[in-house]
Each structure stands twice: as C-alpha cells, then as structure tokens.
Amino acid sequence: MDEPINVRAHNRSAWNRQVADGNRWTLPVGPDEIRAARNGEFSVLLTPSQTVPLSWFPDLAGCEILCLASAGGQQAPLFAAAGGHVTVFDNSPMQLQQDQRVADREKLTIHCVEGDMRDLSAFSDASFDLIFHPCSNSFIPDVIPVWQECFRVLRSGGSLLAGFTNPVRYLFDDERTENGKLDVRYSLPYSDLKDLPPEFLSPLLAEQRPLEFGHTLEDQIGGQLRSGFVLTDMYEDRYPPQDQDPLSRYMASFIATRSRKLTAAARH
C-alpha cells in the first residue's frame, strides 16, 4: 500500500457502519433486561456465547465500572441498572450512542467517552473497581498498552474481566467459514494489513469492514501478568452456531479471563 492505514480511524468508521447494518454486537438491550438487572439479575458476554459467571463480579452497587471498548448498548446499561457507576469507553461514536439511547430511555446515568482503548489518559490512576473488556482487542495492532493502562486505572483489589480471540482462528483464510476447509494459510501473530493478499485486503478496506489482528496468547495472557495482574480464573468458548463456524466443531477459540490487581499488602 502506498499510504499507511490509520487503523483507529478506519475501524471507527467500520464500527459506525456495523451499527447501521445491525451487527449483533450493536443491538441494545430491551426494557425487560433492564428491569431484571434492577433486581440484580443480569447476563452478559465477554465471548460469543458463554455468559460470564456472576461469581466473577463484585457487588455492583456503587461500584466504579469501566466498560472498555464495550459500547453497543448491551453491558453498560445492565451494570448501571444494577447500581454501578458506569463509564463506557469506545472508538465508535455510533456504538456509544447505543448506550446513551438506552440510558435516556431507562433514565440511567452512563458516562460515554470516545477514544482508543490503548490510551486511557482521560482517566486518573486508580479510578475504577471493575473493568469489563469483551472481545474487541482484535481490532487494534498492539494489545500490551491495553493491559498496562487497565492496570494503571484500576484500583487495588479491583478486577479486570477480559474476553479475546485465540489466535488460532487467524491461521486460516476466510474460506473456512464458507466451506469448512481448514487450510493453514497465515502465521502468528496475524495482521490483516500485513498478511492479507491485496485481492482480499482491497475490498475489505473499500467496504469499510473492520481490520483485525490476531495477538499471541503470550501477549493476551502473559501481557496481563507482566502488567502486574494476577490471573484468578478463565474459561474457553465457541462461536455459535457451530454448524456455521467449522473451527468451533473442533475446538474452543475464544478465551475469557478474570484477573485482579492485588492490594499493596497482598503483593508483599
């Protein structure tokens, strides 16, 4: 390519378009779900299909929560209805509007902030008790800054709940989703910009589809540990329905982790 691609700008436009197209991850929750959350009953996703165990959450009443790259009107309104003080930080203005629409409809308070998940300089150190970060860091080329910033803005004793893609999904070209031929085509770590041949990359850019990146598990899990977090739990997940995702017939290819920032006393 003659000119470098501004990934953040491209993916901002791409996700704005996903809202217009009705992508699954842009559809806000309804009044019934909000009503249940007000009674402490809610169900949210970090990965495509398995709900996050309620045991992973602290008491949300009065909890300072950062929904990181998590706009779309799905998780943040439920956390707010359950009593949390919620900030949503996302790269897509249209996704943030989905959260604001639910907040206005349900008379909830949600603070919406636009920005790059790798740069949380809008927030002071130790601002949050809980960070909820569903599968979204596959849309940035480098993930280590995300974990470093999460550790900085999280309070001691707080938790980071994160979902991400097992990079094995990026070994295969898109043909696998159409005919089930799991032919290894790419190496890891993966980048649409560096690894896709021009005949695939050009229409992706022209059609404003999101650019994706496959990060190693060393960066996804080891990056959390090196940033100071302690891993306390995890689970794997598959993309539903499995008959439309051949890889899910053979293995779980998404991971959710619960990590904590220990108190100063616990670190010594």
Kindly report the three-state secondary structure assignment for every residue of 210-239: CCCEECCHHHHHHHHHHCCCEEEEEEEECC
- Tokens matching residue 223: 């990056």
pLDDT at 2: 44
Q: Decide if 151 contacts 177 (C-beta within 8 A).
A: no
All structural domains of the chain with their residue ranges: 7-167+214-267
pLDDT at 1: 39
pLDDT at 263: 80
Please state, in angstroms and rounded to a whole number, the distance separating the CA atoms of residues 81 and 158.
20
Instruction: Encode the chain (268 residues) as per-residue pLDDT tens digits.
Output: 345 789 999 999 999 999 999 999 999 999 999 999 999 999 999 999 999 999 999 999 999 999 999 999 999 999 999 999 999 999 999 999 999 999 999 999 999 999 999 999 999 999 999 999 999 999 999 999 999 999 999 999 999 999 999 999 999 876 555 566 788 899 999 999 999 999 999 999 999 999 999 999 999 999 999 999 999 999 999 988 766 788 888 899 999 999 999 987 666 5
- What architecture (CATH level 2) is domain 7-167+214-267? 3-Layer(aba) Sandwich (3.40)
pLDDT at 176: 53
Please state, in angstroms and rounded to a whole number, the distance separating the CA atoms of residues 107 and 100.
10
pLDDT at 118: 98
For 99, 199, 208, the CA distances from 136, given in Å and listed in that order, are: 17, 25, 17
Helix ranges (H only) for the chain are 7-21, 31-38, 75-81, 93-106, 144-153, 176-179, 192-195, 198-206, 217, 223-226, 264-267
Strand partners, 190: 214
Q: Decide if 71 contacts 95 (C-beta within 8 A).
A: yes
Strand partners, 113: 89
pLDDT at 133: 98
Amino acid at site 245: D
How far is residue 90 CA from its own chain's centroid? 10
What is the DSSP secondary structure assignment for residue 29, as one 8-state letter? P
Note the pTM of the prediction, 2 decimals. 0.95
- Tokens matching residue 128: 């949050």
Give 29's contacts (C-beta < 8 A, 6+ positions apart): 73, 74, 77, 78, 102
